[in-house]
Structure 1
């Protein structure tokens, strides 16, 4: 091989670049090797890389929220946090400076990263042991670390992006961003819901301004839309109408949930005219240079109702309550991803409350949005905070009727029978996980909903801390996961290219049922090795 750089070879503790040349003489062929000693050069490069400066941002997630429970003890917890972070930074020979209340910038040698990664950023576990007062509430932090070469300005920008990703995934974790992609560490606790509506007010103003400058607005959610997705789409449509912009909602006309919602609002002239709702194919014809695409209740391109529309549209907005799993290919105009929110309808209700006059939202629209919150909070029993009830109160003020919203949840006899299939085929794995399967080739889209309900029911079994319901639909296996709050099912299904929340997640696999079960158990085993001692 006579290549310019040669082949790297190590002999006797020395590093060489070896080149090989063929030489012919008197009908004989010889091979000549040239050995270039690069030991000192390689050591110098390695030392330079080890001494390169790494930039990280560290931010306390929940001290402000925890102050409502024990205000006098919060500062003590903040001091303890600063001391622990200071000791950690000192052990790495780094510099830690607080640039804003409970926000820090951390500079250290790149060589220290290997130790942090090997220990899986165990500083997160030590910080989690800090308690506010005598309560059982833990202090948590988020970290964004830049692992790239380049200028300090580039590293600072990438660290900020990594921190933003950590926050959009729910906090209590470290995100390392390098040229190869993203690495995640931590994420063992549920998010604490923020009480302030400042961010919602800012987003509402930005969204209204962007809409007003658009020629038209396309609105969509995820495939197999549920009431939360449809309700959020309808809420955004009402905002677009208020801004005086033409709007369309991209949907699947065959979806049973869409049919229920459409029957509820078809009496309204705007929706009954047949021009508001469009298919994914027809939506592509509506895209112009000033078209704004608003995507709700999803942030993964693979799960979009119309991925092609998102790719063709140069101006996008994301509003979602699921944890972010990957970076966007192109930066959206607005990214409002709040994992602490109960539902997309909660986020949209906050936006409407801040941007449109009272009475703008129609009663039928409020009913569907209220149903969306009911769905994702399991009738206000899960992941419901102050802002959740505030959003529900706003919708009630706009005419939402809980009794009317409940009628959307009525199931037909076939759906009731579908749910029973899962309850008769349950196995317990690792003593605390319940797994149920339905491998019936006749399963349809409604069975995916039955699987989600079955996963919810399995949590009522004594001793079950997390549940998984697997359902074959066509050539794909759909997995719905639920948790009682001790096991992070989002981290488990992320290993299978899925995502969601700490206590509610989903994914789909193109495989056989047996292969899906094997992969699921492998993901569970890996999660237990990484997070549960």
Structure 2
């Protein structure tokens, strides 16, 4: 069985009845488990970490022991700064561990909750997922294939803005009172802000409802904005990437940085978002080294160009309007050439579809 990118952007048509059922099922699984371990993806970002905090708080409301894997797999730089800033509050309210500790804590009745990803090898605790007897998946990315494990609950909603939104929606349907510190609510809101490009993309009424609930818990929008501000080095790198833009037919912009520079992974998507603000640009692709051995690509679209289908041709993944990939042992030049071929194929396929409709 294979899964392919959809031909249109996912629309908000989720049922609140389903949210209630998922919330109740999650509650039952938590209560039937000895303890819970929450795992995120490698290079954990605000959305992933915010969702993990939300699950941790839900589990705590039922009096169960919960641990969150954050000390393996890497953390995005700005999130790392936020964690340091709120270290006392976070360490007081949550138990953060690494993959080795999680494996040692794993028991037959442990419930493992994967947030913001659904592929085991993307996890910051892959070995835990592979050995766990009970795994829950909560994600907003399109399914890219069959699971390599057997989940007991799958909650994948591609119409949602973020996993932080999905987890926030589960909170009011819990039978026990779930509480958040203001700092925690702010971090979860920051995850939503990033994944929606400050409510510009993939934003529905449910996104604002989730943000409103977080605001009631004390989320600080000014601090959330401050957490996302660039330092001078980030600003300089963004400027360099924007200077490297090339305009292609069909409103496509490509920025490929081939000067040996290493860019933080998160900056690629932020630059792609910025490129969409240029008039007549429909899709943006940014390619750069994120370390000495790895080249990454980030893609964004206004909604006409299906960047997921394009990047999927290169073995990447994501959404209709947001996709990405990273690859070792290649170069920026090679990945750019591969992207141009994938774009050419996509444009030909779209032209063929258009001609078929006219026939």
Query: 1:491 and 1:309 mapped to 2: Cα distance?
Result: 31
Residue among 234, 238, 255 paired with 1:415 = 234
Task: Supply the distance in 2 between the matched residues of 1:532 and 1:314 (Cα, whole angstroms).
Answer: 48
Equivalent position of 1:373 in the other structure: 192
Shift of the alpha carbon at 1:440? 4.3
Residue 479 (structure 1) aligns with: 297
Retained in 2: the 8 A contact 1:498–1:506?
yes
Structure 1 residue runs of 5 or longer lacking an equivalent are 1-180
Which residue matches 1:250? Answer: 69
Report Cα offsets for 1:208-262 as digits up to 9, x if no partner. Answer: 1111121221112211121111100100000111121111111147632342232
Alignment of 1:469-508 (within 5 A): 469-472=286-289, 473-508=291-326
**Structure with more contact order per residue of length (Cα contacts < 8 Å, sep ≥ 6):** 2
Q: Tell me how far apart the structure 1 counterparts of residues 350 and 149 of structure 2 sit (CA, whole Å).
A: 33
Give a deviation string over 1:257-301, Cα, whole Å, max 9, x none.
342232343222x6248x711122322212111111101111222
Structural mapping, 1:213-252, within 5 Å = 213-252=32-71
Structure 2 Cα separation of the partners of residues 311 and 196 of structure 1: 31
Match of 1:425 among 227, 233, 244: 244
**In the superposition, relative to structure 1, how do residues 488 and 417 fare at CA in structure 2: closer, same or farther (>3 Å)?**
same
1:271 aligns with 2:91: yes
- Kept in 1, the 8 Å contact 2:2–2:144? The answer is no
Q: Aligned partners of 2:53 and 2:295: how far apart in 1?
A: 30
What is the correspondence of 1:53-72 to structure 2 with a 5 Å cutoff? none
**C-alpha RMSD over aligned residues:** 1.9
Q: Does 1:281 align with 2:128?
A: no
Counterpart of 1:353?
A: 172
Bigger Cα displacement from structure 2, 434-443 vs 344-353: 434-443
More strand by share: 1
Aligned residues: 348
Unmatched 5+ residue regions in structure 2?
Answer: 353-359
Task: Tell whether 2:268 aligns with 1:448.
Answer: no
1:468 paired residue number: 285
Moved more, 352-361 or 386-395: 352-361
Between the aligned partners of 1:198 and 1:362, the Cα distance in structure 2 is: 28
Match of 2:181 in 1: 362
- Contact 1:232 1:296 (8 Å CA) reproduced: yes
Which residue number corresponds to residue 529 of structure 1? 348
Distance 1:327 1:245 in 2: 31
Distance of 1:213 and 1:183 partners within structure 2: 32
Closer, same or farther: CA 468–356 of 1 in aligned 2, 3 Å: farther
In structure 1, distance between residues paired with 2:21 and 2:236? 47
**Aligned with 2:68: secondary structure?**
strand
Structure 1 residues 232 and 302: alpha-carbon distance in aligned structure 2, compared to 1, 3 A threshold = same
In the TM superposition, what are the counterparts of 1:122-141 in structure 2 within 5 Å?
none
Contact kept in structure 2, 1:265 and 1:272, CA below 8 Å: no
Partner secondary structure for residue 254 of structure 2? strand
Alpha carbons of 1:460 and 1:526: their partners in 2 closer, same or farther (altered >3 Å)? same
1:461, distance to aligned residue in structure 2 (A): 2.0
| 1:339/1:258 CA distance change after superposition, 3 Å | same
Say if 1:195 and 1:298 are closer, same or farther in 2 by CA, change over 3 A. Answer: closer
Taking structure 1 as reference, are residues 205 and 265 closer, same or farther at Cα in structure 2, changes over 3 Å only?
farther
Q: Determine the C-alpha separation between the residues in 2 that align with 1:236 and 1:427.
A: 42
What is the TM-score with the length of structure 2 in the denominator?
0.91
What does residue range 322-333 of structure 1 map to in structure 2 within 5 Å? 322-333=141-152
Q: What is the correspondence of 1:68-467 to structure 2 with a 5 Å cutoff?
A: 181-182=1-2, 184=4, 187-194=6-13, 196-252=15-71, 255=75, 256-268=77-89, 271-272=91-92, 276-355=95-174, 360-443=179-262, 447-467=264-284
Instruction: Give the whole-Å Cα distance in 1 for the aligned partners of 2:207 and 2:91.
Output: 27
Instruction: Name the CA shift for 1:222/1:359 in 2 (closer, same or farther; >3 Å).
Output: closer
Q: CA deviation at 1:307?
A: 1.6
Change (3 A) 1:426 1:202: same
Deviation at 1:362, TM superposition (A): 2.1
Matches of 1:358 and 1:239 in 2, distance apart? 8
Secondary structure of the 2:295 match is strand
Q: How many angstroms apart in 1 are the aligned matches of 2:105 and 2:2? A: 35
Cα shift at 1:523: 1.6
Conservation of the 8 A alpha-carbon contact between 1:470 and 1:480: yes
Secondary structure, in 3 states, of the residue corresponding to 1:532?
helix
Task: Tell me the SS of whatever aligns to 1:299.
Answer: coil
Does the Cα contact within 8 Å between 1:298 and 1:304 map onto a contact in 2?
Answer: yes
